[in-house]
C-alpha cells in the first residue's frame, strides 16, 4: 500500500529524471560526441566572429555606441549554439528513439507517461546545452569578447533559449515522417539564423522583414544574450524572455499531447 501511495502522489508531478539517467548511461562512454559538439560551436565563433571581425572592424549599435564586430557577433553565436544543441537533441535523437529504436514503446509500459518522456528528453537537451554554453561563455570572456559581469546572466539566458528550442524541436519531431523532413528543418533553421540579427542590427533591415524577424524566437534569444554580454540592460529584455518562455511552454504542452497520440495506439 505504501508503494502505491507514493506512486500515486508522485504521478501528479512530472518525472523527467529516469529518462535523463538513461541518456546519461548511454553517453557515459561517449563523451567524445559532446566534446565535438562543443568544438563545433567554438569553431563557429572563431571563424565568423574573429575571422570576419578582421575585415569589419567596428559596428555601430542602434544607440550610437561603437563596438568591435567580434563582440557584437559572439553572443549571437552563443544563442545559435544553444539553439542547435537543443534542436539536435530533440529532433534527430528523439526521432531515432521514437521511430527506429522504438525505445519509448518499452518505456511507456512502465509508470512513465508521454509527458515524463518529453520532460526527460528536454531536460537532457538542456543539460547538454548548458555545458556547451558555460564553456562558450568562458572562452568568450578569455578572448575579451565581453567585459562585464552582466555576461554571467547570458548563461541562464542561453538555457532559456535551449528550453524554447527543445519545445519546438520536440513538437516538430512528432510531425516528422522521415529523414528528408529534417533537411527542410535544417534549411529553415539556417535561414532563421541568418535573419535574426546575428550579423547586423535588425534596424538595418527593411521594415516588412523586421516584422517577420520579431516572430523568430532566435531573434529574441540573440537580443537577450547580446544585451547581457554588452551590459546594455533595458526593460525590453523582459519581453524577449517572456516570448521565449511562452513559445517554449506552448510547444512542450502540444508536444506531450502529440506524443501521447503517437504512442498510445
List the one residue from 33, 43, 66, 111 that touches other proteins (CB under 8 A).
Answer: 111
C-alpha cell at 242: 517572456
Residue 15 binds other proteins, judged by CB under 8 A: yes
Residue 57 binds other proteins, judged by CB under 8 A: no
Contact 216, 192 (CB under 8 A): yes
Residue 169's nearest CA partner among 157, 154, 181, 156 is 181
Q: Which is nearer to other proteins, 18 or 156 (CB)?
A: 18
List the one residue from 1, 31, 36, 110 that touches other proteins (CB under 8 A).
Answer: 110
Q: Which is nearer to other proteins, 24 or 214 (CB)?
A: 24
Evaluated on CA atoms 191, 196, 199, 203, the torsion sign reads positive
62 phi, psi to nearest 5 deg: -50, -30
List binders of other proteins among 134-193 (CB under 8 A).
none
Residue 127 binds other proteins, judged by CB under 8 A: no
Query: Coil, strand or helix: which one is 186?
Result: helix
List the one residue from 73, 74, 98, 112 that touches other proteins (CB under 8 A).
Answer: 112
Contact 86, 126 (CB under 8 A): yes
Question: What gap in Å lies between CA 68 and CA 71, rounded to an integer?
Answer: 5
Question: What gap in Å lies between CA 172 and CA 183, rounded to an integer?
Answer: 13
Residue 98 binds other proteins, judged by CB under 8 A: no
Residue 265 binds other proteins, judged by CB under 8 A: yes
Shortest Å, Cβ 35 to other proteins:
19
Residue 109 binds other proteins, judged by CB under 8 A: yes
Residue 18 binds other proteins, judged by CB under 8 A: yes
Residue 255's nearest CA partner among 104, 134, 136, 146 is 104
List contacts with other proteins (CB under 8 A).
3-4, 6-8, 10-11, 15, 17-18, 21-22, 25-26, 101-103, 105-113, 263-265
Amino acid at each position: 500500500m505504501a508503494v502505491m501511495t507514493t506512486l500515486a502522489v508522485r504521478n501528479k508531478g512530472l518525472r523527467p529524471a529516469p529518462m535523463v539517467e538513461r541518456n546519461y548511461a548511454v553517453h557515459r562512454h561517449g563523451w567524445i560526441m559532446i566534446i565535438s559538439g562543443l568544438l563545433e560551436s567554438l569553431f563557429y565563433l572563431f571563424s565568423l566572429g574573429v575571422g570576419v571581425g578582421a575585415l569589419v572592424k567596428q559596428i555601430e549599435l542602434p544607440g550610437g555606441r561603437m563596438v568591435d564586430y567580434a563582440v557584437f557577433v559572439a553572443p549571437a553565436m552563443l544563442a545559435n549554439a544553444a539553439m542547435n544543441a537543443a534542436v539536435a537533441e530533440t529532433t534527430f535523437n528523439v526521432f531515432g528513439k521514437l521511430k527506429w529504436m522504438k525505445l519509448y514503446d518499452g518505456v511507456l509500459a512502465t509508470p512513465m507517461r508521454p509527458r515524463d518522456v518529453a520532460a526527460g528528453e528536454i531536460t537532457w537537451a538542456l543539460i547538454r546545452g548548458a555545458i556547451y554554453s558555460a564553456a562558450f561563455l568562458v572562452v568568450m570572456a578569455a578572448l575579451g569578447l565581453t567585459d562585464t559581469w552582466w555576461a554571467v546572466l547570458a548563461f541562464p539566458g542561453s538555457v532559456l533559449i535551449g528550453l524554447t528550442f527543445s519545445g519546438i524541436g520536440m513538437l516538430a519531431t512528432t510531425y516528422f515522417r522521415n529523414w528528408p523532413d529534417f533537411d527542410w528543418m535544417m534549411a529553415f533553421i539556417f535561414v532563421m539564423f541568418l535573419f535574426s540579427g546575428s550579423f547586423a542590427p535588425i534596424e538595418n533591415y527593411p521594415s516588412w522583414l523586421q516584422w517577420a524577424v520579431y516572430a523568430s524566437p532566435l531573434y529574441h534569444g540573440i537580443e537577450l544574450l547580446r544585451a547581457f554580454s554588452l551590459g546594455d540592460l533595458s526593460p525590453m529584455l523582459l519581453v524577449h524572455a517572456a516570448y521565449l518562455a511562452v513559445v517554449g511552454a506552448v510547444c512542450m504542452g502540444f508536444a506531450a499531447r502529440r506524443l501521447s497520440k503517437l504512442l498510445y495506439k
